Amino acid sequence: MRTTNELYEQYISITQKAADFNNAAAVLGWDQEVYMPQKGFAHRGRQLATLATQAHELLTSELYGTLLQELAGREDLQDVARSNVMLSLEDYQKGKKLSAAFVETLTEQTSRSYGAWIKARRDNDFAVYVPELERMIALKRQQSDLYGYPQHPYDALLDDYEKGATVTMLDPVFEELRQQLPPLLGQIAAAPQVDDQFFFRHYAREKQFEFSVKVLAQMGYDLDAGRQDYSEHPFTTSFAPTDVRVTTRVDETNLASLLWSSIHEGGHALYEQGLPEEQYGLPLGAAASLSIHESQSRLWENCLGRGLSFWQHFFPILQGVFSDALANVSATEFFKASNKVAPSLIRTEADELTYHFHVMIRYEIEKALLEGVLHPRDLSGVWNEYYHKYLGIAAKDDLSGVLQDVHWSHGSFGYFPTYSLGSFYAAQFYEQAEKDLPNLKEQVALGNFSTLLQWLRIHIHQYGRRYRSEELCARVTGKGLDVSCFLHYARQKYSAVYGVELKA
């Protein structure tokens, strides 16, 4: 009879081999979005499908399942090992519901859908994308059925990104935002408005990029274990904590486009670089959830990156790079302009408050697509109906409307709600960090981010998937998700931005 240690070593070997396949696929995925020529999509889809299938077969084999069951019954399994095994057993039981053939088909479709999305964006024509999107949605409905769900087909896909999340849980969260945000936005609209016109002057592409890399490095992003490149849609990908890459995009007439996407992706990358390297390929070496991942990006982008202390340090440097465009601008004016609240078409460039309407729109659309009550060919019109309803605006074309997000081409249905959840967790974590680090703002104003990063490493990063989002939040802040923390943070911040007391 083999010892527990011998069984656990076999478990590690299989799990890490699957991780190797998945991370090799991730390298090809990164290349697909950054460097690959247009004609490469067909074969790249096959290559990715082969790797995904190999990983899936390893992690759903009878041998692996038997091994996990035996380990789960061993009383001498240590705490860290038990956490890994139980989480892997949960993944195994879910993964067994999808055949290798289905995983291969879905992966190949992802590459085709992404290629169609790229072409549709270049042509500014949603119709180019519709046939492949239809096929993707059909597969995601099939995936929901294979997983099974308690009430709504969307529940099965939500669980891939946020364990335990359901429509029943999320609907009240978004309903609270529908009730709470409009009065706050009304008070802001009635206040003297912020001038952000200097954001739309000319800012040279390479200088923007170089400045953003300096910001990332000072935040703590290890450039010996990562890099930044350009892509159609900013993203972060990780092959191991020692190789975590980010991308951004640049608009020479809109400084905000690169600035916030780079800081946002930097927050994701810091989380990935902070995961325990010794747990590579195992559950405790992976992020807790997508909402916790988003909490890290939104904390750095919004709580820090759009804060006055941040720009007290960085603005003189930025002003030195773009002396003509920013000659008569102060750090305080830059801080206020960075937080201007106004309805906008592009989710990734939206302010912190109206941003959640962008998420709600996508949430409602995804539910309707999964229910089958909305057809992909009607998305452009429905998209503008929602934007008019929630934000009073409509896209002038597909590029600034329904084609702006890459997520549906990847099959990432159920991802969008984690953006809002992440913002709420971010505000809650930041509130706790300020309590634990009373001179945090002073340190940030001096360009010292190491104390905050270490706090995040200790309280969040080191645990990997050991705790679900709600449990991790309770460990860090003493309570589960509390949307009122975000609303309190928003009232405080925007009172300072607009020079008025915003009331609940």
Contact 425, 469 (CB under 8 A): yes
User: What pLDDT does 27 receive?
Assistant: 95
In 146-242, which ranges are E strands?
226-230, 236-240
User: What pLDDT does 232 receive?
Assistant: 85
**Active-site entry in 104, 132, 162, 265:** 265
Using CA atoms, how far apart are residues 43 and 85, in angstroms rounded to an integer? 35
CA dihedral 339, 343, 345, 348 (to 10 degrees): 30
Q: Which of 144, 128, 210, 146 is nearest to 409 (CA)?
A: 128
Q: What is the CA radius of gyration of the chain?
A: 23
Question: What are the pLDDT tens digits along the chain (504 aa)?
Answer: 899 999 999 999 999 999 999 999 999 999 999 999 989 988 998 999 999 999 999 999 999 999 999 999 999 999 999 999 999 999 999 999 999 999 999 999 999 999 999 999 999 999 999 999 999 999 999 999 999 998 999 999 999 999 999 999 999 999 999 999 999 999 999 999 999 999 999 999 999 999 999 999 999 999 999 999 999 889 999 999 999 999 999 999 999 999 999 999 999 999 999 999 999 999 999 999 999 999 999 999 999 999 999 999 999 999 999 999 999 999 999 999 999 999 999 998 899 999 999 999 999 999 999 999 999 999 999 999 999 999 999 999 999 999 999 999 999 999 999 999 999 999 999 999 999 999 999 999 999 999 999 999 999 999 999 999 999 999 999 999 999 999 999 999 999 999 999 988
User: What pLDDT does 150 receive?
Assistant: 84
Q: At what angle do helices 153-161 and 167-190 cross, to 10 degrees?
A: 70
CA distances (Å), 61 to each of 52, 259, 281, in order?
14, 45, 17
Q: Which of 417, 365, 407, 367 is nearest to 110 (CA)?
A: 407
User: What pLDDT does 1 receive?
Assistant: 81
Find the helix or strand (DSSP H, E) in which 14 lies. helix 4-34
User: What pLDDT does 448 receive?
Assistant: 97
| Catalytic residue list contains 265 | yes
Q: Which of 350, 238, 252, 345 is nearest to 302 (CA)?
A: 350
Using CA atoms, how far apart are residues 500 and 276, in angstroms rounded to an integer? 45
Tell me the three state secondary structure of residue 246. Answer: strand
The model's pTM:
0.94
Q: Sheet containing 226-230: give its strands across.
A: 226-230, 243-248, 236-240
Using CA atoms, how far apart are residues 416 and 378, in angstroms rounded to an integer? 20
DSSP 1: -
Contact 82, 13 (CB under 8 A): no
Q: Which residues of 324-353 are buried (b: 16+ CB within 10 A; e: fewer)?
A: ebbeebebebbbbbbbbbbbbbbbbbbbbb
Contact 173, 420 (CB under 8 A): yes
Instruction: Say which residue the tokens 């706090």 belong to.
Output: 455
Residue 136 buriedness (CB in 10 A; 0-12 / 13-18 / 19+): buried
Q: Which residues lie across from 240 on neighbouring strands?
A: 243
